[in-house]
Structure 1
Amino acid sequence: MSLHSDRLFPADPHTREIARKLYQSVKALPIISPHGHTDPSWFANNEPFENPAALLVQPDHYVLRMLFSQGVSMEELGIKRKDGGAVETDPRKVWQRFAEHYYLFRGTPSRMWLDHVFFEVFGLTEALTKESADRYFDHIQGCLQKPEFLPRALFERFNIELIATTESPLDDLRHHQTIQNSDWKGRVITAFRPDPVIDPEFEGFADNVKKLGEITGIEIKTFDDYLNALRQRRDYFKRFGATSTDHGHPTAKTEDLSSEDKHQLFSVVIGGSATPEQAETFRAQMLTEMALMSLDDGLVMQLHPGCYRNHNEDLFTAFGRDKGADIPVQTEYVQALRPLLNKVGSDPRFSMIVFTLDETSYSRELAPLAGHYPALKVGPAWWFHDSPEGMRRYREQITETAGFYNTVGFNDDTRAFLSIPARHDVARRMDCAFLAQLVAEHRLGEDEAMELAHDLSYRLAKEAYKL
């Protein structure tokens, strides 16, 4: 196994040389990771990662979905059942199962990221196969016991300037408090993800709202009480570094209802009798309410719509969320975002980053919207499109209408901590390849490409997320 120094660069020798030069100027820049799902307890407690399977296989929904699609059960991978049923508990056997099926990842981003981790982080040069599985397991397990592989040491080794985790409003942020109270200089901040308390179809919604009231000391009887509790939690999150909110709604729909309609709708959803249409309207109104709160507290708003969560009902019932059964759906933005954008889209106090899993919306909807509204930026290629080809399509379809500066650089959006350098490296290589093509076609000066490479790799993310 080896990582070719020219991977992802253009095949044309002249253009490849330009890409090399651009990449050399940005490859060592610090990593800004402004949106992701790493566990803050790793950095708070700074304890050794448990084992290779728990670190690299079981939390990775890309890995889980591929293996499941080829007949490997969640039980075989040691994923805990909600009913406490029997699953594999030997991490070495889980790793062996993964290694036997590693060939399934050929040509996928997961293969590129994992090979990068094996080679760059653990110094492995032998290919992962069923024959080498035990040697891999023993080598990685041995490394994980060393001080230089503790979470904080890896954070520093990866040259991470900042990482943002994502927490529910019901989280007490104790791990962030521990980090703040320590003498470690690593910068780990939180982000406010209010879905459990603003989505009436989120499991346990009514109980979640009740708990929100208990946490804030506000008895939530009216819509105004509810909004005040959310404002208080947003302020609490800001104390732990939050600069953004994040919303994982099924659609991008927003609303601007009258005061009377908002209060009536809240009574319906909190009473548990909302229809699917009323639940969607409430989510839509709450996006607008969150945007209005951003005018006051300055939090950047992120919207990640267009995913049918937990599509496999049996899998969700048995194992819960985030097991690789989420599927992209067609998403509309022009009509959906109009109520919110007409209210705050030109307000200099507001900033919104919109993502999509529907690539057909790039050039038709998102680029024109971001190319007009001052508050709106288009987030990078996300999730299923966080791949070399997905990044290429993103740049090709967004740039000619929205330009580069209505985008926000790259964010890795991952639970897989060790893959973060790999993901940023792929993004930097693909952006440099794209810029090199523009230079080779005499559409961009090389000096401008150098500046853009730095902006896309570092500066735009830092500015967009107010870091």
Structure 2
Amino acid sequence: MSEPWTLHPDRALPADPTVRGIAREVYAATRDLSIVSMHGHVPVEWFAQDSSFGDPAQLFVVPDHYLTRMLVSQGETLPRLGVGSTETEAVEQDPREIWRRFCAGWQHFRGTPTRYWLEHAFVEIFGVTQRPSAATADAIYDQVAARIESPEFRPRALLDTFRIEVIATTDPAWASLEDHTRLAKDGYGDRVLPTFRPDPLLHVDRTTWREEIDLLGRAADVEIGSYETYLAALRVQRQRFVEAGARATDHGHLAADTTPLDDLEARRVFDAALAGAVTAAEAEAFSGHMLFQMAAMSTEDGLVMQLHPGVLRNHATAPFAAFGPDKGYDIPVVTEFTRSLRPILDAFGHHPAFRMIAFTVDEDVYSRELAPLAGVYPALRLGAPWWFLDAPDAMRRFRESATETAGFSNMSGFVDDTRAFCSIPARHDLARRVDAGYLARLVAEHRLDLDEATETAVDLAYRLPLAAYPAPR
């Protein structure tokens, strides 16, 4: 009989014994800190409804594109993983069968951050003692399913179990915010916060743009027939988000361009979009212009502006057409920031009411562009590694390439950027371990004293995320 599956207490800490000993001390200062999750995609309705997560497949497999993309790369299909149907293949309806396919592919996750998050959740949260495999799939399914059905595993209860002090959802700009209102009445208004996400409204050549504009108008009670009323409706909704507790906006454009148009040109492009006659070049210019407008509005209402550019969404057209956003194999692209952010930073980089957090999935720009920018403009903070870069080695490279120019104080602290709720404590734990290892090396090299390293670790894990996302005044 094999030994029970356990996790090594020193996982992700440095291998060098001297540095590892210091890292243990640093990590001990952050291990049990509350989680500040200021950027993520856990649906607000989970907390508002506070109902069961359903089954193990719906909790772990179906919604997690980190997980499904790896299995697809090894020959599985999205319908077989429960994501949806195509013209030639019906979606798998049996959650146990979906779970078996996931467990049978467990070996494909070796060396990935997905493996770290999943094993943390299985062992630490669910008490699983067998590694996933085709042979153990049913037993693990039964164990996880029983835990999911317990009252202690409802979303609100897990906020306490996971020690989540505050968590931000990401909501469409036209959202009614009824779920957040309900949570506020139930005493969770300071704990589950909305985030304003206007992306579909800022890209005037998207097929859903007119529909999204109508939704915005109805939500804001503004008849949108011009560029001016469009801006007015956005301002109304932003203010509603502020009143509901929002601290930030979120923007996932392909490029980081923030070049403003003059008012006449902005009106002309908007009118062309309303008439269905806008060109791709006009739409691209307008989206950059609207990022500048979002920054200007942030100086008015105090919402922190988060920018996540550099991902070519829906690289595969057929899966996107069949399954929708986040299912079409999103892939990073080269991203330029120095010239692209200059209009915003030139206008608002020293504005006392403006705060911007820039994220990237292009590692090359950390030391060349983002760290130097964050290291001088008071309004700019450098966001944590996200998506594709939230792996142990990538996070270490981030610290090594960015810290010497930006310092620690110009960082946002860690954000988990996930809709996989059970991975949140695992992701924060991994970040704390990686930071402990990096700081321990500085101590071992006599570049920091131990007390400074410990204080910095607490800053990165807890204080800096709160400071980077202040409540609007």
Q: TM-score range by the shorter chain?
A: over 0.9
Find out whether 1:241 has 2:245 as its counterpart.
yes
Which residue is 2:46 aligned to? Answer: 42
1:389-443: per-residue Cα shift (whole Å, max 9, x none)? 1100110110111111111110000000000000000000000100000010011
One-letter code of the match for 2:295?
Answer: A
Counterpart CA distance in 2 for 1:224 and 1:161 is 39
Alignment of 1:47-446 (within 5 A): 47-81=51-85, 86-183=90-187, 187-323=191-327, 325-446=329-450
Give the drift of 1:307.
0.3
Counterpart CA distance in 2 for 1:201 and 1:126 is 50
Give the drift of 1:82.
7.2
Runs of 5+ unmatched residues, structure 2: none
Counterpart CA distance in 1 for 2:419 and 2:94 is 22
Counterpart CA distance in 2 for 1:185 and 1:313 is 39
Q: Give the match's secondary structure for 2:36.
A: strand
For the 8 Å contact 1:353–1:376, the answer to whether it is kept is yes
Counterpart CA distance in 2 for 1:310 and 1:256 is 27
Give the drift of 1:202.
3.2
Counterpart CA distance in 2 for 1:184 and 1:261 is 44
Counterpart CA distance in 1 for 2:26 and 2:189 is 30
One-letter code of the match for 1:218?
Answer: V
One-letter code of the match for 2:462?
Answer: Y
Find out whether 1:461 has 2:465 as its counterpart.
yes
For the 8 Å contact 2:180–2:189, the answer to whether it is kept is no
Q: When the two structures are superposed, what TM-score results if normalisation uses the length of structure 1?
A: 0.98
Counterpart CA distance in 1 for 2:236 and 2:439 is 44
Structure 1 stretch displaced more, 205-214 or 70-79: 205-214
How many residues in Structure 1 have an aligned counterpart in Structure 2? 467
Root-mean-square deviation over aligned CA pairs: 1.4
For the 8 Å contact 1:192–1:237, the answer to whether it is kept is yes
Give the drift of 1:214.
2.2
Counterpart CA distance in 2 for 1:207 and 1:47 is 30
Q: Give the match's secondary structure for 1:76.
A: helix
Counterpart CA distance in 2 for 1:237 and 1:84 is 42
Q: Give the match's secondary structure for 1:385.
A: coil
Q: Is the alpha carbon distance of 1:185 and 1:197 closer, same or farther for their aligned partners in structure 2, counting shifts above 3 Å?
A: closer
Counterpart CA distance in 1 for 2:411 and 2:188 is 32
1:360-398: per-residue Cα shift (whole Å, max 9, x none)? 011111111111111111100010001101100110110
Give the drift of 1:258.
1.7
Counterpart CA distance in 1 for 2:28 and 2:7 is 16
Counterpart CA distance in 2 for 1:368 and 1:153 is 42
For the 8 Å contact 2:41–2:417, the answer to whether it is kept is yes
Give the drift of 1:256.
2.3
Structure 1 stretch displaced more, 319-328 or 277-286: 319-328
Give the drift of 1:142.
0.8
For the 8 Å contact 1:195–1:202, the answer to whether it is kept is no
Give the drift of 1:269.
2.4
Counterpart CA distance in 1 for 2:405 and 2:57 is 44
Which residue is 1:27 aligned to? Answer: 31
Q: Is the alpha carbon distance of 1:114 and 1:227 closer, same or farther for their aligned partners in structure 2, counting shifts above 3 Å?
A: same
Give the drift of 1:270.
2.7
Give the drift of 1:346.
1.2
1:2-29: per-residue Cα shift (whole Å, max 9, x none)? 1111111111111111100000011110
Give the drift of 1:274.
1.8
Counterpart CA distance in 2 for 1:144 and 1:339 is 49
Q: Give the match's secondary structure for 1:161.
A: strand
Give the drift of 1:184.
5.3
One-letter code of the match for 1:332?
Answer: E
Runs of 5+ unmatched residues, structure 1: none
Counterpart CA distance in 2 for 1:67 and 1:157 is 30
Flag as ranges the 4+ runs of structure 1 deviating above 4 A.
82-85, 183-186
How many percent identity over aligned positions? 50
1:188-238: per-residue Cα shift (whole Å, max 9, x none)? 011000011111233310221122112222111221111110000001111
Counterpart CA distance in 2 for 1:146 and 1:271 is 54
Counterpart CA distance in 2 for 1:84 and 1:236 is 44
Counterpart CA distance in 2 for 1:344 and 1:198 is 20
Counterpart CA distance in 2 for 1:353 and 1:296 is 17
Counterpart CA distance in 2 for 1:216 and 1:336 is 31
One-letter code of the match for 1:362?
Answer: Y
Q: Give the match's secondary structure for 1:246.
A: strand
Q: Is the alpha carbon distance of 1:168 and 1:184 closer, same or farther for their aligned partners in structure 2, counting shifts above 3 Å?
A: closer
Counterpart CA distance in 2 for 1:82 and 1:251 is 31
1:65-86: per-residue Cα shift (whole Å, max 9, x none)? 0011111011111112377962
